[in-house]
Amino acid sequence: MKLTKDLVAASAVPMILSILEGGESYGYAIIQRVKELSGGEIEWTDGMLYPVLHRLEQQGCIRSSWGVSETGRKRKYYVLEKPGRAVLKDQKEQWLLVQATLTRLWGAQHA
């Protein structure tokens, strides 16, 4: 299923922050996690994840550090920071509200 550009953009931040809430990760792993959780339905243009990660870091939501991968390559890892947890909490409330409202609407329409 191809999501609209606006929906991909809007959902990227809560998805990234939620994945990082589970622990440190890196760009490629984040993309694979989203594909896995969505059953392959959500596919991001891989490169577009990185500007979002950099913007989140500038905002203080996440923090990066360079490490070494299993193959010995330089790899940039990201962790969730305290402001990011607050943003995630806010995003969760908004998305759950939208989901609940749409569920009631569509449930009512099918009733």
Partner 1 sequence: MATQLLGRREVLDELEDHLRDEVDALTRAGHPPDEAARAAMDRLGAPSDLGAEFAKVPPTSAPWLPVRLAWVGGALLAASMVLPLWPKLAAGGLASLLATHMGLVMLGYVSTLLVGFLAASYLVARLFAGLADGQVRTLQRAGLSLSALAVALTGVGVAFGFIFCPHEKTGWAFGYDTREVGGLVVLVWNLVMLAGCWAGRRSESPAAMMMLGLVGSMAVVLGWLGATAVEHRLHGAPADFATVAAVVSAQLAVACLAFAPAGCLRRAGA
Residue 96, classified by CB atoms within 10 Å of its CB into exposed (0-12), middle (13-18) or buried (19+), is exposed
Residue with tokens 């596919």: 43
To partner 1, the closest distance from the beta carbon of 35 in angstroms equals: 11
Which x/- pattern, by CB under 8 A, does the window 19-38 give for partner 1? Answer: -------xxx----------
> Which one, 30 or 99, has the nearer CB to partner 1?
30
Of residues 66 and 110, the one with the C-beta less far from partner 1: 66
Task: For residue 100, give Cα distances in angstroms to 14, 55, 93, 94, 111.
Answer: 17, 29, 10, 10, 16
Residue 93: CB minimum distance to partner 1, A: 26
- Minimum separation from the CB atom of position 68 to partner 1 (A): 5
| Binding string, residues 35-74; x marks residues near partner 1 by CB under 8 A | ----------xxxx-xx--xx--x-------xxxx-x-xx
Residue type, 62: I
Question: Tokens 């931040």 appear where?
Answer: 13
Which residues contact partner 1 (rule: CB under 8 A)? 26-28, 45-48, 50-51, 54-55, 58, 66-69, 71, 73-76
